[in-house]
Amino acid sequence: MPSMAAHGDKWTAGGCHTVFMSGRSLLLFAQALLRAPREVGAIAPSSSVLGDRLAAVVPRSDDAVIVELGAGTGVVTARIERRRSPQSTFLAFERDPQLAMELKRQSSGVQVIADDARRLRLHLEQRGLTTVDTIVCGLPWANFSDQEQSELLGVITRVLGAEGVFTTFAYAHALALPQARQFRAALAARFDEVLPTRAVLRNFPPAITYVCRTPLVRP
């Protein structure tokens, strides 16, 4: 079985969400943030509670194809690993080479791809895959321009099957900011169904998730 032992799933009374996250993971996250603050776009890795919320849409079937975009230090990756069938296919994209290397070290069952999420289709084709059942996404959407958001959502909707699900998160305190509002509008333009969930308070900062179905594929 794949192991992602660096991350735990318990909380302290004070609400620290990364109780068992190794100092190594936190150090790697901080280094990545210093290297590329805009691309990392968070002050801390997600909590395992948020990870479970995101992973809840992952199918348990053996033939499922699951993709994670922006895997970071692997908190959400580990929650997907707990849920999915070991026979399913799981590709995790992480652009930062150091973080990708750490993900590879931690996880044996995941195909870690140290590349830009924009090249998702190419990597699927290289593996003989055409469609994906579920995309779980940790990309920092609010830091992307309208054009970047549109380009990435185009890549995502083109590879999702008609029954496919896309899920991602947004920080609750920033939902009213222009790029967050733009992202919400971009989701509505690309999916027939966009369900925002209630906030996960046990995350720093608290975050909502979007669950998006029925991709509206554009030419």
Residues near ligand SAM (CB under 6 A) are: 32, 39-42, 45-46, 69-72, 75-76, 93-96, 99, 116-117, 138-140
Nearer to ligand SAM, 11 or 214 (CB): 11
CB-nearest residue to ligand SAM: 72
Nearer to ligand SAM, 6 or 42 (CB): 42
**CA 195 → CA 121, 184, 209, distances in Å?**
25, 10, 8
Nearer to ligand SAM, 143 or 214 (CB): 143
Provide, rounded to whole angstroms, the least separation between the CB of residue 41 and ligand SAM: 5
Are the CB atoms for 45 and 32 separated by under 8 Å?
A: no
Cα–Cα dist 187/2, whole Å: 33
| Nearest of 67, 73, 177 to residue 127 by alpha carbon | 67
Q: Which residues are registered as beta bridge partners of 137?
A: 69, 168
Nearer to ligand SAM, 72 or 215 (CB): 72
Provide, rounded to whole angstroms, the least separation between the CB of residue 97 and ligand SAM: 10
Provide, rounded to whole angstroms, the least separation between the CB of residue 168 and ligand SAM: 10
Are the CB atoms for 108 and 3 separated by under 8 Å?
A: yes
Cα–Cα dist 99/106, whole Å: 11
Q: What φ, ψ does residue 132 adopt, rounded to 5°?
A: -120, 145
Nearer to ligand SAM, 81 or 94 (CB): 94
Are the CB atoms for 89 and 129 separated by under 8 Å?
A: yes
Provide, rounded to whole angstroms, the least separation between the CB of residue 57 and ligand SAM: 15
Provide, rounded to whole angstroms, the least separation between the CB of residue 192 and ligand SAM: 25
